[in-house]
Amino acid sequence: MSERDPAAGDPAGPPEEDPRIRGEKHPVARMIALGIVLSLIGIAIALLIDWFPVSAAGSADEIDTVYDVLLICSVPVFILVMTVAIYSVVRFRAKPGDMRDGAPIHGNTRLEVVWVTIPFLMVTALAIYGWIVLDDLEAKQPNTLIVNVTGQQFTWSFDYPSEKVKSNELVLPKDRPVEFRIHTKDVLHSFWVPEFRLKSDAVPGLTTKIRLTPDRIGRYQVVCAELCGIGHSTMRQNVRVVATADFDSWLDDQKQAAAPPSGEAEGGGGETGGGGGGAGGDGAAVFAANGCASCHTFKPANATGTVGPDLDEIATPTAAFIRQSIVDPNKEVEEGFSPGIMPQDFGDKLSPDELDALVEYLLKAQK
């Protein structure tokens, strides 16, 4: 491994042998043999471990195979590096009182060429393999359902543009290709359903895409996989994969729920002071659509968040205070909570009607 190696062809003959390795016949051969045995054991352990949740999309099997190939390639590299490092630490450790300098080694061209070339070839091959798999998974398919995914601190919302349906729950028909178009209203988030495997960042100003085909009926969760603020870990939402007929009836239910109730025409919505019951209902919808539940506890909405204050017992239960807390949350922060955590742009995001409805909804529930 050094220029002391007689095979390196020093014209002056082998230099004085280091007493610490005197008598070692073939340390390199022994390390290689040990490395191969440990690598096989390591690969066996790595493949035996069940790393993944159930697979609920056609893409999952191919991605799991990529992951297994990566493990098979990385375990021997890890073992090789650790074997050489541990062997060297143990074998060449200076004895107490040994104050000699180390040998003046300037490099080993052959070794350097080897340790640059082999990783280069491995990484290039793996990148090409990964690209081929991803390109295959992302191929456009007929009859694709488009779903707009929007992340915001700290919730996800979903919108089915072809159906004009919006929802806080992600419902998908089994065996139909889906294209997610991912957006964010504020900071970076990352849209991830572990059972689907694919993951994509939600980047301000960009629309990122994921295509996949759910193939297993069940309930899963969207997880935010990018640290986005204090409520990051609460940024989870339900995903349901259902049979096509169930999906269609769910869409119909959503459309009916969104339609204005009979008797109250569009014009009625403008007069928020008038229909008390109607405005309260709107307030609940505004509360749900803006992700308030991920941070606040509020019994009428079955919300149990703990990032922000409990809205069942607002410190100053007046309309003016509630309104200020929504549009300018840093002005007065409840004791025990920090400023800057509640998004400060609800004043821009909410229309005046929505804001009125939300304030009324919260105020009504106060004792």
User: Residue 222, interface with ligand CUA (CB under 6 A)?
Assistant: no
- Give the residue with the Cβ less far from ligand CUA, 144 or 148: 148
Q: Are 328 and 344 in contact (CB under 8 A)?
A: yes
Looking at residue 57, the DSSP 8-state letter turns out to be B
Q: Which of residues 226-255 bind ligand CUA (CB under 6 A)?
A: 226-228, 232, 235
Compute the least distance from the CB of residue 142 to ligand CUA, in Å.
33
Q: Which of residues 121-160 bind ligand CUA (CB under 6 A)?
A: 151, 154
Please tell me the total number of residues recorded for the chain in this structure: 367
Among 225-233, 263-271, 286-294, 324-332, the segment contacting ligand CUA (CB under 6 A): 225-233
What SS3 state is found at 24? Answer: coil
Side-chain half-sphere exposure of 192, counting CA atoms within 13 A: 16
Distance of CA 362 to the CA centre of its chain: 32
Compute the least distance from the CB of residue 233 to ligand CUA, in Å.
8
User: Residue 224, interface with ligand CUA (CB under 6 A)?
Assistant: yes
**Of 183, 189, 197, 296, the one binding ligand CUA by CB under 6 A:** 189
- Cβ neighbours of residue 316 closer than 8 Å, sequence gap 6 or more: 332
Bridge-based pairing of strands 297-298 and 303-304 is antiparallel
Q: Which two tokens stand for residue 253?
A: 């239910």
Going 181 to 184 to 187 to 189, the CA torsion angle's sign is negative
Compute the least distance from the CB of residue 264 to ligand CUA, in Å.
36
> How many Å apart are CA 295 and CA 318, to the nearest integer?
21
User: Residue 307, interface with ligand CUA (CB under 6 A)?
Assistant: no
User: Residue 170, interface with ligand CUA (CB under 6 A)?
Assistant: no
- # residues near ligand CUA by CB under 6 A: 9
Q: Note the residues at the interface with ligand CUA (CB under 6 A).
A: 151, 154, 189, 224, 226-228, 232, 235
